[in-house]
Amino acid sequence: MTSADTINASAAGTFAIGGDLVVNRLGFGTMQLTGRGVWGEPADRAGAIAVLRRAVELGVTLIDTADAYGPFVTDALIHEALHPYADGVAIATKVGFTRQGPNQWIPVGRPEYLRQQTELNLRHLGVDRIDLLQLHRIDPKVPLEDQIGELAALQAEGKVRHIGLSEVTVADVAAARQIAPIVSVQNLFNLSDRSASELLDYSEAEGIAFIPWFPLATGELSAAGTPLAELAASHDATPSQLALAWLLHRSPVTLPIPGTSSVAHLEENVAAAAITLSDDEYAALDALS
């Protein structure tokens, strides 16, 4: 296993989101830095700050957050830990979800709400322009052209650099691209759940960043004696690290954002950037269901 003194997210290579926002492909997701149910303050605020600062020290340049995390708890943590932001650090955030309590999420895509939340994101993050603003969920009660149109208006005003989507289908992306340029999609995808494979293949063909959330779900795949556990042992790595290596190998457009509230776990995740799978090893992992 790679020493904590030598690991760096840059070992995973880079991707240019939208053609001009260059980030290291292994990023960091902040959702786990909140309280239980993605609600309220973390139990250890100082620890959360330390994780964010360590992530940047380890070469992480893509930080993923959302107004709904807390809500606004992770934005405040990011600002306290990292502002003013180092050159090359990109903040991706999301709008379009309302929160009624722990583990409660209701999409709201009314243009005035999306604008309000974007303005609050700008204020809480302490930036004049959001690097990547993603629609957290498409609201089925609001016309898509109104939702994407409002994000495009914010982009035209210089408040948003790039626009992305979250939890969508290929048809959703194609429809949104008729309204504004879409440079990223963020969907559930990991070794155990590959329901978004069609979307990933579409994203690769179109040069769209694919940001898999919940990338470390290995479950029974990592049990002793399984191909995942055996390959991990051969690399002196953990099953979770192999799961990340598989995602990075799966497509050049994948940008995994594993999250954690532990510095030690963060270092373990980032070390996966340096794991190189052979074609045979990748095929063995790909064959897992």
pLDDT number for residue 183? 98
Give the separation between CA 192 and CA 54, rounded to whole angstroms. Answer: 29
* Cα separation values, 22 from 13, 26, 68, 108, 160, Å: 10, 12, 26, 30, 16
Residues whose CB falls within 8 Å of the CB of residue 57, separated by 6 or more in sequence, listed in order:
none
Give the separation between CA 86 and CA 83, rounded to whole angstroms. Answer: 8
Q: Look-up: residue for tokens 């795949």? A: 221
Residues whose CB falls within 8 Å of the CB of residue 276, separated by 6 or more in sequence, listed in order:
245
pLDDT number for residue 141? 98
pLDDT number for residue 23? 98
In 244-268, which positions are buried (b, 16+ CB within 10 angstroms) versus exposed (e)? Answer: bbbbbbbeebbbbbbbbbebebbbb
Domains of the chain: 9-217+252-259 (3.20.20.100)
Catalytic: 113?
no
* Catalytic annotation, pick one of 69, 85, 202, 282: 69
Q: What is the pLDDT along the chain (289 residues), one digit of tens a residue?
A: 455 678 999 999 999 999 999 999 999 999 999 999 999 999 999 999 999 999 999 999 999 999 999 999 999 999 999 999 999 999 999 999 999 999 999 999 999 999 999 999 999 999 999 999 999 999 999 999 999 999 999 999 999 999 999 999 999 999 999 999 999 999 999 999 999 999 999 999 999 999 999 998 877 788 888 889 999 999 999 999 999 999 999 999 999 999 999 999 999 999 999 999 999 999 999 998 6
Q: What are phi and psi of 54, to 5 degrees?
A: -65, -35
Give the separation between CA 178 and CA 262, rounded to whole angstroms. Answer: 41
pLDDT number for residue 222? 83
